[in-house]
Amino acid sequence: MTRFDGCFKCHCCGGLPDGGMDQNLVDVLNEAGIRPNEINCAYRCEAHDAKVGGCNGQHPKGTAADVDASRFGVDELAQRFEELKADGIGKYPGDMGNFVHVDVRSGRVGETYRW
């Protein structure tokens, strides 16, 4: 159990992945100083992911989170995740939602999935 567990649940069904959220993701969020109330979305069941147009498949695997960037700003938050060797980082500024997608799809090796 982590301090983020309540924030990780699917907004559609309230579920979590069978094996729980990926520990690498939990570590990145902790090390970046993310607060539980800053998690917009983490786990999504397959139905919810399809409904919102999920395209990378990381949320249903428990390896991704969308983090509110209000406290840091999109660029600074993305840079924090970059320094922590997150694999996937997507910036969604202002009217796109003001959040950063972060994932650890390859186990936190700093892959170059950026958008």
Rounded Cα gap, residues 46 and 49, in angstroms: 5
Residue 11 pLDDT > 80: yes
Say if CB 10 and CB 16 are below 8 A apart.
yes
| pLDDT at residue 2, rounded to an integer | 75
How far is it, in rounded angstroms, from Cα 91 to Cα 115? 6
Give 30-81 pLDDT, tens digit per residue: 999 999 999 999 999 988 888 888 775 899 999 999 999 999 999 999 999 9
Across the range 14-39, mean pLDDT stands at 96
Report pLDDT for 97.
93
Q: Is the pLDDT of residue 5 over 80?
A: no
CATH number of the domain where residue 36 is located? 3.30.1380.10
**pLDDT tens-digit series, residues 86-100:** 999 999 999 989 999
Q: For the chain, what percent of residues have pLDDT higher than 90? A: 80
Q: What is the pLDDT averaged over residues 16-37?
A: 96
Phi, psi of 76 (to 5 degrees): -65, -40
User: In what side-by-side order are the strands of the sheet with 39-41?
Assistant: 39-41, 64-68, 99-103, 88-92, 113-114
What pLDDT does residue 111 have?
86
Show the domain range for 89. Answer: 5-114
Q: What predicted TM-score, i.e. pTM, was given to this entire model?
A: 0.93
